[in-house]
Amino acid sequence: MNSDSDILHRLFEIGRSLVSELDPDAVLQQIMAEARELTGARYVALGVLNDQRTELARFLSLGVEGKQQQAIGGPPRGRGVLGVLIEHPEPLRLAHVASHPQSYGFPGGHPRMESFLGVPIQIRGETWGNLYLADKQGAQEFTADDERAVRLLADVAATAIDNARAYERSEQRRLALEQAVQGLEAARDIADAIGSEGASGELERILELVVKRGRALVEARSVLILLREGPDLVVVAAAGHVGEATGRRIPIAASTAGAVLERRIAERIGDAKRRLRIGPELLGVPAARTALIVPIIHAGEALGVLSAFDRGPSGGPFTDADERLLRTFAASAANAVAVSRSVRADRLRAAVEAADAERARWARELHDQTLQALAGLRVGLSGALRRDDPAVYRELTGQAIEDIDAEISNLRGIIADLRPSALDSLGLTAALAALIDRRRDDGLAIDLELDLPEWLDETEPAARPLETAVYRVIQEALTNIVKHAHASSVRLRVGSDEEALLVEISDDGVGFDPQGVSRGFGLGGMRERVFLLGGTLNIDSGAGGSRVSARLPLPEAAGRSAGADQAVS
Report yes or no on 187 lying in a domain.
no
Cα 275 from Cα 121, distance rounded (Å): 42
Q: Are residues 41 and 157 in the same domain?
A: yes
Same domain, 428 and 550: yes
Mean pLDDT within 123-148: 90
**Residue 522, pLDDT above cutoff 80:** no
Q: Is residue 112 scored above 60 in pLDDT? A: yes
Residue, of 469 and 377, whose pLDDT is higher: 469
Helix (H, G, I), strand (E, B) or coil at 143: coil
Q: 401 in a domain, yes or no? A: no
Q: Is 36 exposed, middle or buried (0-12, 13-18, 19+ CB in 10 A)?
A: middle
Q: What is the DSSP letter of 35?
A: H
Where is 136: in which H helix or E strand? strand 126-136
Distance CA 559, CA 5 (A): 85
Does 357 fall in a domain? no
- Indicate which CATH number applies to the domain containing 268: 3.30.450.40
Q: Among residues 282, 315, 339, which one ends one of the domains?
A: 339
Tens digits of per-residue pLDDT, 287-341? Answer: 888 999 999 888 888 898 998 999 877 777 888 888 888 888 888 777 777 776 6
Could you report the per-residue pLDDT of 346-383, keeping only the tens digit for each?
555 655 565 556 666 666 666 666 777 777 777 777 77
Residues 23 and 156 in one domain: yes
Pair (159, 283) in one structural domain: no
| Domain shared by 137 and 236, yes or no | no
Q: What share of the chain is helix, strand, coil (3-state, %, to 5)?
A: 55, 20, 25
Domain end, chosen from 321, 339, 357, is at 339
Name every residue whose Cβ is closer than 8 Å to that of residue 535 and which is 6 or more positions away in sequence. 469, 500, 550, 551, 552, 553
Query: In degrees to the nearest 10, what's the CA dihedral of 77, 83, 85, 86?
Result: 60
Q: Are residues 136 and 232 in the same domain?
A: no
Residue 69 in 3-state DSSP?
helix
Strands 445-450 and 489-496: parallel
Amino acid at 178: E
pLDDT at 518: 47
Strand 291-298 to 301-311 pairing: antiparallel
Confidence check: pLDDT of 560 > 60: no
Percent of the chain with pLDDT over 90: 13
For residues 215 and 146, membership in a common domain is answered with: no
- Residues 452, 454, 456, CA angle at the centre, nearest 5°? 75
CA distances (Å), origin 10, targets 19, 37, 161, 162? 14, 10, 18, 21
Residue 248, domain member (yes or no): yes
Say which residues have a Cβ less than 8 Å from residue 139's Cβ, sequence separation at least 6. 40, 115
Quick one: 163 and 235 in the same domain?
no
Residue 389 lies in a domain: no
Q: Judge whether 81 and 133 are in contact, CB under 8 Å.
A: no
Q: In angstroms, rounded to a whole number, what is the distance separating the alpha carbons of residues 15 and 157?
A: 7
The rounded mean pLDDT for the chain is 79
Query: What's the pTM?
Result: 0.44
What number is the average pLDDT over the span 70-85? 80
Q: Is residue 177 part of a domain?
A: no
Residue type, 520: G
Q: Looking at the structure, do residues 164 and 202 belong to the same domain, yes or no?
A: no
26 & 97 share domain: yes
Instruction: Mention every residue, 6+ apart, whose C-beta is less than 8 A from residue 209.
Output: 189, 190, 193
Percent of the chain, pLDDT > 70?
Answer: 79
How much is the average pLDDT of 87-95?
91
Q: Which domain holds residue 147?
A: 4-169
CA distance 343 to 350: 10
Phi-psi region of 183 (alpha: psi -120 to 50; beta: other; left: phi over 0): alpha
**Which comes out higher in pLDDT, residue 274 or 16?**
274
Residue 340: other Cβ atoms inside 10 A? 21
Q: Which helix (H) or strand (E) holds 116?
A: strand 116-123
Q: What are phi and psi of 475, to 5 degrees?
A: -60, -45
Measured CA to CA, the distance from residue 430 to residue 382 in angstroms comes to 42
What are the b/e assignments for 354-373, b being 16+ CB within 10 Å? beebbeebeeebeeebbeee
Question: If you average pLDDT over each of 24-38, 188-202, 520-534, 546-560, which comes out highest?
Answer: 24-38
Is the predicted pLDDT of residue 150 greater than 80, yes or no?
A: yes
What integer pLDDT is reported at residue 557 of this predicted model? 43
Residue 429 and residue 499 share a domain: yes
- The answer to whether the CB of 333 falls within 8 A of the CB of 369 is no
Domain membership of residue 495 (yes or no) is yes
Domain count, the chain: 3
Q: What is the largest CA-CA distance in the chain?
A: 151
Name which residue leads in pLDDT, 124 or 416.
124
Torsion over CA: 384, 387, 389, 391 (sign): negative
Instruction: Answer yes or no: is 356 within a domain.
Output: no
Q: How confident is the model at residue 67 (pLDDT cuts 50, 70, 90)?
A: confident
- CA nearest to 423, candidates 410, 412, 434: 434
Confidence of residue 192 (pLDDT cuts 50, 70, 90): low
The mean pLDDT of 168-194, rounded to a whole number, is 64
Task: Using the predicted structure, report yes or no on whether residue 194 has a pLDDT greater than 80.
Answer: no
Q: What is the pLDDT of residue 365?
A: 66
**Would residue 56 be called left, alpha or beta, if left means φ above 0 and alpha means ψ between -120 and 50 degrees?**
beta
Mean pLDDT computed over 63-83: 78
234 and 146 housed in the same domain: no
Last residue of a domain, one of 123, 152, 169: 169
What gap in Å lies between CA 209 and CA 241, rounded to an integer? Answer: 16
The Cα 58–Cα 84 span in angstroms is: 17
